[in-house]
Amino acid sequence: MPKIKKKRMGFVIDLTPLVDITFLLLTFLMFTAKFKSEAEAEKQFTIRRPTVSPDTTKLPERDLAIINIAIDDKNPNDTSYYYGLTNMKDVPLVYQLVPEIPPELQSKALVKVDTTVLGKLIRATLSVRSSTRFAIDADRRIRFKWVEDAMNILRRNRAFVFNFVTDKRTQEEEQKTQKK
């Protein structure tokens, strides 16, 4: 007698743990994600920051004025200052006080400036919001002269406390400096 063929039953995989983990990761990443500020999105350059030993200090996100000193991506001989504010409410107020900013740049969160305009912008920023913190975000390849000038401009405009923006040094770089 031929055996009765059992009907094949479809098998079921319990997807619950998978979905659990997925949701967990999703919520974590959603809560930790930070979107670029407008000033950051307008950047035409990439800054390679100097690296230092690991630290817990983090760049403040609110009411920050950043002085970028960057090398142009397309023209490596061209270094210039850029000024940006993270508080978008302050931007029009600050620009109002600086007539040198042309009207077509008024809507921008990041403007290319020279040293005189930079000084005026710093003073205007402090008069609009005195609690603004300053940061110098400079490329590591530039000469110190650029940073020194920016520091002197800050000093002249009564901004005596500021930050250098840096990156954490990786272990490979650490070993390299040890060899030096």
Partner 1 sequence: MAGGGGALEIPERQKRGKIVRRKKKKRIGFRIDLTPLVDITFLLLTFFMFTTTMLKPQIMEMRIPPEMYAKVEVRASELLTLMLTADNKLYWYKGIADQNNPPQEIPISKLRALAVEKNLEPTVKNRLITVLKISPDANYARVVEILDELNQAEIPITEAISKEVDEKGEPMKRQRKFTIAPLTEEDLKLLQGEGK
Encoding tokens for residue 45?
């350059």
Spell out, one character per residue from 128 to 157, where the chain touches partner 1: x when CB under 8 A holds, - when not.
-------x-xxxxxxxxxxxx--x--xxx-
Q: Is there binding between residue 72 and partner 1 (CB under 8 A)?
A: no
For residue 169, give the DSSP letter. Answer: P
CA pair distance 180, 169, nearest whole angstrom:
15
Binding range to partner 1, per CB under 8 A, among 30-38, 83-91, 94-102, 103-111: 30-38
- Angle of helix 90-97 relative to helix 115-128, nearest 10 degrees, comes to 130
Exposed, middle or buried: residue 70 (CB in 10 Å: 0-12, 13-18, 19+)? buried
Nearer to partner 1, 9 or 29 (CB): 29
The neighbouring-strand residues paired with 137 are: 68
Site size for partner 1, by CB under 8 A? 51
Binding residues for partner 1 restricted to 73-112, rule: CB under 8 A = none
**Does the CA dihedral 126-118-151-157 come out positive or negative?**
negative
Which C-beta is closer to partner 1: that of 64 or that of 101? 64
164 binds partner 1 per the rule CB under 8 A: yes
Q: Does 162 bind partner 1 (CB under 8 A)?
A: yes
Strand 64-71 and strand 79-85: the pairing is antiparallel
Is 9 a binder of partner 1 (CB under 8 A)?
Answer: no
Where along the sequence are the contacts to partner 1 (CB under 8 A)? 15, 19, 22-23, 25-26, 29-30, 32-33, 49-59, 135, 137-148, 151, 154-156, 158, 160-168, 177-178, 180
